[in-house]
Amino acid sequence: MADTRRALLLLAVLAVASAYGPLFWPQPRAMTKGTDNFTIDPCRINYKVTTVPVYLVDNINLYLIETFKCKKGVEQQLSLGRDALNVTLTVTVLNTTLIPPLAGFENYTLNLTSDGNWLLRANFFPGFLRGFETFAQIFKQDENSTYYVEALPMNISDGPEFQWRGIMIDSSRHFLPVDVIKRTIDGCLYNKVNVMHWHITDEDSFPLEIKSHPELSGFESFNNQTYTKENVADIIQYALRKGVRIIPEIDSPAHTQAWGRSPQLENITLTCPGGPYTGQFDPTLDLTYQVIEDVLREVNEMFIDSVVHFGGDEVELLCWDLRPSIREWMIKNKIPTYKDLEIYYRNRQKQIWRKISNKTASYWANEDIDLPTEADDYIHWWGVSKNVRQLENRTNNIVLSNYDITYLDIGYGGRTGGIYGNSIETWR
């Protein structure tokens, strides 16, 4: 990418397409179009798949049955009839291994000729998924619901401009059943979104089962609704089959009220009065770091992606003034300010993580956060768009989630909000 900061965009951007021919989301990077039009029913195309792992055929059938409402899907090769143009779509995927949709793995070519010999080709399985979504978008329907295709012959060579295109879900404020998470992953597939950032824990609950600390989810879940290790593995496998990465977030040292609700762990958190988020770790206790290490060790075992999000925003520094032992510890350890204590926590957390894993750490950042980062850390910006220039001298990978335009519970002007705080917060 030309920009040395390699800024990573969180939401796909729709480019304006011409009125004639398909309206693609997002617009392919390179495309040529002709002038031929044909009546073509996607349910009557001959789908010829040269390599047939079950999950590849399952994805074709997902489109045929759910999108096009076909009465049946394909097995290996199934001819369902003829249209004005007898079409065979040959799908060639050189490597069908289930791999994360990383840089270079989502490219594909789609060649749609006027003689009906169509070809979708990808080097890797995620590229096939992106290409088949593009294929599904070529079809239009007239007033009689008859399918047709415009602008043949059409040749598309495509790959993502941004390697991180994501959506975040929050299972702490609202417990999300596994089938709801899978339906969200399907939505990612249809929109060529390749990251689902899973904000698992927060003030309200800790729904992830941790075997070394069953009290976390035991005392701190909604009506004992939790995610088991098997649930997590199922979700990750499902996401891989849809070309989606699962990035877990274990937020701290703020947003941690739920960690301390059991008698065993009640001392590791403080209650901070007056703010919207009232729970915060005591970063001076050895028990705090032992629990963090235990949790992160199991998170590392459960989640296979190369990135783990550690949160890190909205720390209420003066909250630590409520516990005299914290100030005494700071004096003893020559830590002069609460800001220095916050930095101490992050550094010690990172040291623990490096004992466990070499996976990349990601942290929240906005106008109020200026904490040290290491060269390989991801910076996840949630400040306003006009202030993103604060990051221009950073060499880290940057994920943009500007809250004024990308927060779905806030909106941007108009009836859904537009002012931070004037939002749709059903979880409160």
Q: Are residues 390 and 283 in the same domain?
A: yes
- The reported pLDDT for the residue numbered 5 is 35
* Residue 242 belongs to domain with CATH number: 3.20.20.80
Whether pLDDT at 380 is above 50? yes
Q: Are residues 136 and 226 in the same domain?
A: no
pLDDT confidence band for 17 (50 / 70 / 90): very low
Please check whether residues 103 and 171 belong to one and the same domain: no
Residue 422 lies in a domain: no
Indicate whether 149 and 173 sit together in one domain: no
Residues 112 and 222 in one domain: no
Alpha-carbon span 49 to 277, nearest angstrom: 52
Q: What gap in Å lies between CA 245 and CA 100, rounded to an integer?
A: 6
- Does residue 87 sit within a domain? yes
| Domain assignment of residue 31, yes or no | yes
The Cα–Cα gap between 52 and 75 comes to 9
Are 122 and 261 members of one domain?
A: no
User: Which active-site residues does the annotation give?
Assistant: 314
Which of 260, 268, 391, 368 is closest to 315 using CA atoms?
368
Please give the mean pLDDT across all residues of the chain: 88
Pick the last residue of a domain from 98, 130, 158.
158
How many other β-carbons are positioned within 10 Å of the β-carbon of residue 45? Answer: 25
Of 9 and 326, the one with more pLDDT: 326
Out of 138, 158, 178, a domain closes at: 158
Check whether residue 133 and residue 173 sit in a common domain: no
Rg (CA), the chain: 25
> Of 234, 206, 203, 209, nearest to 220 (Cα)?
206
Cα gap 248→278, rounded to integer Å = 22
pLDDT band at 273 (very low <50, low <70, confident <90, very high): confident
Q: Is the pLDDT at 283 greater than 60, yes or no?
A: yes
14 falls within a domain: no
The 10s digit of each residue's pLDDT in 66-87 is 999 998 887 644 444 445 578 9
Are residues 324 and 372 both part of a single domain? yes
In a domain, 13, yes or no: no
- Type of residue numbered 336: P
Q: Examine residue 10 and state whether it is found in any structural domain, yes or no.
A: no
Query: What band does 423 get if pLDDT is binned at 50, 70 and 90?
Result: low
Q: Which pLDDT score, from 0 to 100, does residue 1 have?
A: 39
- Containing domain of residue 131, as a range? 21-158
The domain tally of the chain equals: 2
Shared domain for 95 and 183, answered yes or no, is no
pLDDT digits (tens, 9 = 90+) for 220-240: 778 889 999 999 999 999 999
**279-281 and 195-199 beta bridge pairing:** unpaired
Give the max Cα distance, the chain: 83
Dist. CA 349–CA 338, nearest whole Å? 16
Question: 312, 309, 316: which is closest to 199 by C-alpha?
Answer: 309
413-427 mean pLDDT: 50
Stronger pLDDT, 44 or 197, i.e. the higher one: 197
> What is the pLDDT at residue 83?
55
3 in a structural domain: no
Over the stretch 152-165, which tens digit does the pLDDT of each residue have? 999 999 999 999 99
417 sits in the region (left: phi over 0; alpha: psi -120 to 50; else beta) called left
Q: Is residue 270 a part of any domain in this protein?
A: yes
CATH of the domain at 149: 3.30.379.10
Domain boundary among 158, 184, 203: 158
Confidence of residue 142 (pLDDT cuts 50, 70, 90): very high
In this prediction, residue 9 has a pLDDT band, given cuts at 50, 70 and 90, of very low
Q: Are residues 236 and 327 in the same domain?
A: yes
Cross-strand partners of 77: 48
Indicate whether 339 and 216 sit together in one domain.
yes
Residues 144 and 230 in one domain: no
382: pLDDT strictly greater than 90:
yes
Does the structure show a pLDDT above 90 at 150?
yes
